[in-house]
Structure formats: C-alpha cells, structure tokens
Amino acid sequence: MSIDIGNPLLRPWDTPYGLPPFEAISASDFEPAYEQALAQHLAEIEVIAGNREAPTFDNTIAAVDRCGRLLERIENLFHNLTSSETSPALQAAETRMAPVLAAHSSAFFMHQGLFARIDALHARRDALALALSTEQRRVLERYHADFVRAGAKLDAMAQKRYAQIMGRLAKLTTRFGQNVLADESAFQLVLRTEDDAAGLPDFVRATTRQAARDRGMSEGMLVTLSRSHIVPFLSFSERRDLREQAWLAWTSRGEHAGEHDNREIAREILALRNEQARLHDFACYADYALADTMAGGQAAVTALLKQVWEPAKARAHEEQQALASMALSRGETLTLEPWDWRFYAEKVRQVRYDLDEATVKPYFALTRMVEAAFDCAQRLFGLTFVEKPEIKVYHPDVKVYEVRGADGGVIGVFLHDNFARSTKRSGAWMSSFRKQSRADDSVTVLPIVINNNNFAKGAPGEPTLLSFDDAQTLFHEFGHGLHGLLSNVTYERVSGTAVLRDFVELPSQLFEHWLSEPEVLKRHARHHQTGEAIPDALIDKLKRARQFNQGYETVRYTASALVDMAAHALTGSTVPEVVAFERDELARIGAPASAGMNHRLTHFQHLFSGSGYAAGYYVYLWAEVLDADGFDAFVEAGNPFDPAVALRLRQFIYASGNSLEPSAAYRAFRGRGPTVGPMLKQRGLIAPA
C-alpha cells in the first residue's frame, strides 16, 4: 500500500540516530498517520496469516516480531509526548485514538489465521527444541501467551464482548490519567507573606519562587502538587493550616465532583477488569494478572506483603510515639494528623541524627548526580554518555546523549527529561522511542531510551538541588534506562524492559544501591558552592539515618499494595464505591490513619492509567527481595564494582531482557535463588545477624 510521505510521521526519519523530527510534527499529524499505519500493519498480518507454507519460526514468529514497525514508531512518539509534553490538542487526539488502538489490538490478537499458525508452533515447541535457540523458544512462548491472554482462544461471542471491554477500558484509563493531570495543574498554593513561608529553608523558598515565575507570577512563592514541592513543604512548613491544605489537595486528586472526577471511572475499570478475567475463567482480575508473573498467584503476594505489614505497623507505632514526644517538647498538644507526620519526623531526624535536609541538599546538585549515575554505568559496564546539545527535541529542558560501549561503538541514545511542568504527568518513569533488536545476525537496531523525573527546577543561574530521596529516584529510573540501553537480544518482543512485571523493577532498584556507596558519594556529592566533597561525618549520618522513618514509608507502600490487591480480588459482578472500599479496607487491615498511603485509588495511576501495575503494585517489594539479595553479591566480593560480578549482572539481568525465564536469569547471576533476609534488614524490620 502507498504511504502519504507528506506527513512527517510517515516519512523516513533522516534525523540524527533516527530520532523523531519533533520540530516538524504537530498534533494534527497523528490521527491521519495512525490511519495509514494501522492499515499497513493489518496488511502485514494478512500476509503472514495467509502464507501457504507450513508455519515455521521464521515465517510466523519472527515475521510477527518484525511487522508493525511504522505503527510502533508512531505509538512510541505519541505516548511519550502525551506523558511528557501534552497539550489540549494531543489530549483530544489521545481520547479519540484510545478506542481505535484498542480495537486494532483486539483485531491483531484475535486474528484466527495468525493465531492458528502460532498455536501450531507452540504445540510443537518440544519437538522443535533442537531447531530453536533458547531465545527463540522464549519468544515463541511469550507470543503465544500474549495471544491467549488477549482472547485468542475465546469463542466468537466472547471475543466480541472482550473487544468491547478493551475498547471501553482504553477510553477510561485515558480519561483517568488526564483527570489526574488536570487536578495537578489546577492546584496553586501561593505563599505571599513571610508568615506563609514560616519554617521553609532557603532551598524550598528558591524552588517555590521559581515555580511561581514559571507560572507567570512576578511575586510570591508557589507550591504545586509536584512531589518535589509537596514533600519539602510538608517537612518544613510551620503553618499547620497550610500543610493541611497542601496534603488534602495532594491526596484528593481525582476525588472532586465535576468533569475530572475519577471515582466512577475507577469503579467501572474494576468492574470491566473483573468481567475480562471471568471471560478467561478466572475468579477475579488479580488471579488473571498474577498468572503471568514470577509470583504466580495471590498466595505468594499475600505471604510477602504480610511478612512486612505487621513489623512495619509496629515500627510505625514506635515512630509515631517519637513524633508525639517531639510535639510535646515544643509545647504542642495535638492529635497527629497525616499532614503532621513529615514535619515532626524531620524534627526528630535533626535531633536524633543531627541531620536535616538543608544540610544534605547542597551536596546533591542535579548535574553532579547525573554525572554520578553515568560514572557508575561506566565503572560497571564500560558505558560513556556524550552530550549532544546540538540536537533539539520536544522541550528545551531535555538533554540528549549518545551512549557508547567500552569499545567506543554507539550502543544507543539516552534522553534525560528531569523537570516538573504543567504539561507533564507527575511521577518518574522510563520509556523508549525505539527498542533494541537485531534485524539479522549483524545489524543492531539501537535503542532510544528516555528517563522522566519531576524535580523542582532551581532559579536561573542556580543549580537544581536534590534531596537524597530525589537522587535515589534519579538512580532508580536510570537503572530502568540501562535495562533498555544494555539490551542484547535479537527479537524485539523480549527486548529490554519487556519482562514480567515483578522482575522489571529489579534492574532499577538494584542500581539505587550505588548511590549510597561512600566512594561514589565522595567522588560526586560535592558542595555546589565550594566544590568540597561531602564530609565523612555527613556520609555516616546518612548511613545511620537510612532506616529512619522506614515504618512510615513501609506502611504507606504496603497499604497501597494491599488495597490494590483487595480491589482486584473482588469477585462479585458489582464493585463498591472506591473511596468507601478503600476506607473500609484500610480499617480492616489496621492501617495507621496518621500515615496515609502512597496512592489513593482516585489518583492511583499505576493501576488506572493503564493495566501494567494493576494487581501489581506489590512488585516493588518483590523486586526489593531480589535487589537486596543481589547487591550482596558485590558485598561478598568486597568491591561494589567487582568486574566479575558486574559482568554477570550485565549478561543475565540487564542485557538478557525476557530471553531467559526470570528465575533462571536471577540464578545465573547470583548462583542461587534469592533470600528475603537482606530486604528485611535493609528496611530495618529485623535486626542484623
């Protein structure tokens, strides 16, 4: 079929590294480009399905893996823009295209002729064992699972209903995310007087002042719902009334009557997912989702969460007593509320560890922490990152790097988008514009990977200073980025982060460990004004304070994971109102009211802006078992950059993608399966041996 090359999305991209031609693209280009790319993909599918030769791996599985690249190119660009730099026009296109793309996905996965060929090969996989490489067998198994889990084996009537469900879910999840962004963008807590800013250290004043200027305010300071604004404000503001206002706005996103209300949207999503699961003969969506994970089912997830829940509650109770004592020492008699916890915790930390954020932040300039992440990647994996300032992408804040391997050859492209803005969704994430694969045995398709953060930007001419938690987030997302950049597989289906959901957080969480290494801190954590290396005494304080407030943090995370699991384990045909359900579930499990939870259901984008983490928020804890145990391999070697351990880490964790079964990949790296003890010690939930 002919392609309209007048549309910049459809022309060959003769840009550096094949990056999208951002300056030539407008929102109006996407829908006509999608129309042609979808038609081309369907035509490619028909050719594969209509092949009169008997199905082979190459003429069926490899052909499926190669097809649809134009569509994928457009989709990757579109979804990255709607997440990182959206607009009303893009959001309107996103809303219109969501059901269209869902319908196309259903047509692909339910194509009878195509699935018949894949199913026939899958049935013969043992007989084909000698003819298939380990990766090829894994690719065959994954494609077969994809088709089955998307409804390929359902009867015609069930497939029709299944496609309707997926189309409706696409609309709802798109609206959910747009509603959260709308609430985040609309909120403004303006600090006009010195009294409004009471207690705020200079670094918080600087970032809130810059936020005000970015929003067109000539005076005052502005607290937005960006985490890098809210958390420092809650930690330092002496104005309890303003802390309450900020907290309520932060935690009630998506819970306001009107066009951005997510309560009924979340409820309908849960009901539709339940119906989706029943069509697959599962009792509930949690059973359906967990069937394709390392955990395998609810029992393993519940066992892990329970292992930390009771110790975390006990630890949080101890912490709460310390906060109450701190309040009394200040002459304040009050009932501790959720907007008080971080404030008094910061006071306790200052007294107990002689450590406060204002002392730490000057050593954690964003530029230094980026250099630290790059340096660790070089020492572990031989990578170098060469900035390309001449390449302009979708926003001036985004930096582009050419990534080179130890031999000097280019292995990929890395984009770093670090700052919060009103056109960008909250949180931090890794994505890609193109995944690594090999067209044949010699030609590698280079990955184009992007990390998004939402740090509060420093004033013009001033550095952006990070908290230690912010720096950990940067390292976390960079770990995901390395997972995409170091991928070394043939088939795109198993490339990079295309792994089981409870394995995908291992490379990211594991990479966080290097930030805490004293030799990394001494090299890169330098005072932004003097250049002085972080003092040993401050490193020691950071180390001793590492487990401080971990009861609070663990309770908040685990409560969110338990509520997620409970919501997706509902088996009835009707779903209760989500706010009431959340409240009742938190009461049932005995969650401390003063701690709150990481994400409430009305803005829980992990669950409701897509299905990737639905019945899957537990995966961070699952991966923490792996990452704590995995980093111990370097501890046992006596060197955080031990070359032999780093080589195994690259080969079996970062480079293998989904070409190996994840438990086998971990055993190949570690020499055995994981143990839970290191994770519990890491969180301070059991005493060190």
Report which of 60, 70, 65, 11 is spatially closest to residue 40, judged by C-alpha positions. 70
The DSSP secondary-structure symbol of 188 reads -
Chain mean position to CA 149: 23
Does residue 477 have an active-site annotation? yes
User: How far, in Å, CA of 340 to CA of 347, rounded?
Assistant: 11
Question: CA angle, 629 as apex, 626 and 634 as ends, to 5°?
Answer: 120
Torsion sign over Cα 366, 367, 368, 373 = positive
Strand partners, 269: none
CB 266 within 8 A of CB 188: no
Q: What does the block give as tokens for 56? A: 């082979």
The backbone torsions φ and ψ at residue 475, rounded to the nearest 5 degrees and listed phi first, read -65, -40
Euclidean distance between CA atoms 222 and 242, whole angstroms: 12
Neighbours of 620 (CB within 10 A): 20
Bridge partners of 451? 416, 430
CA distances from 179 to 10, 85, 88, 641 (A): 31, 16, 12, 44
Of 85, 477, 492, 585, the catalytic one is 477
- Residue by residue, DSSP assigns 585-617 as HHHHHT--TTT--S--GGG-HHHHSSSTTTT-T
> CA 288, CA 550: separation in Å to the nearest integer?
32
Q: Where are the alpha helices (DSSP H) in 405-549?
A: 468-485, 501-512, 518-524, 536-544
Residues with catalytic roles: 477
